[in-house]
């Protein structure tokens, strides 16, 4: 099985087993001609998903971001922090994007779960 290096760890292709969808905020006109903003699906990817651990978890806890999740996908351009991720009926706002070792093989995305009321 193919194994790629990821910041000291390794990611196997088999770990990319969760489907996530990126959404972007777009402006559109409603039936009355007013501009409204809505989320539209952008792209869907296979992803490895993990919770923060160790130092990352404590750094997130300092800013009260306990619901931060780490998503790892194959490299793709045009993923931005203005987007959000849908995973298992939950929404996550992207807080950081890391092109691991600038190798254009994998991207590690940290995202904060959005409260269902907002």
Residues 6+ apart with CB under 8 A from 104: 75
Would you give per-residue pLDDT tens digits along the chain (118 residues)? 444 444 445 677 788 999 999 999 999 888 898 999 999 999 999 999 998 664 554 554 555 546 889 999 999 999 999 999 999 999 999 999 999 999 999 999 999 999 866 5
Domain at 3-113, CATH homologous superfamily = Bacteriophage SPP1 head-tail adaptor protein (2.40.10.270)
pTM above 0.85, yes or no: no
User: CA-CA distance, 11 to 72, in Å (whole number)?
Assistant: 9
Q: CB of 92 within 8 A of CB of 114?
A: yes
* DSSP class per residue in 4-27: EEETTEEEEGGG--EEEEEEEEEE
Q: Do 13 and 1 meet the contact criterion of CB atoms below 8 Å apart?
A: yes
């Amino acid at each position: 099985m193919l194994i790629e290096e990821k910041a000291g760890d390794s990611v196997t292709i088999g770990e990319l087993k969760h489907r996530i969808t990126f959404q972007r905020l777009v402006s559109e006109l409603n039936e009355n001609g007013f501009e409204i903003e809505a989320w539209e699906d952008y792209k869907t990817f296979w992803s490895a998903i993990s919770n923060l651990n160790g130092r990352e978890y404590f750094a997130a806890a300092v800013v009260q971001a306990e619901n931060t999740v780490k998503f790892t996908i194959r490299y793709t351009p045009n993923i931005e922090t203005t987007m959000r991720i849908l995973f298992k009926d939950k929404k996550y706002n992207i807080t950081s994007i890391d092109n691991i070792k600038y190798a254009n093989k994998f991207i590690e995305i940290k995202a904060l779960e959005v409260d269902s009321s907002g």
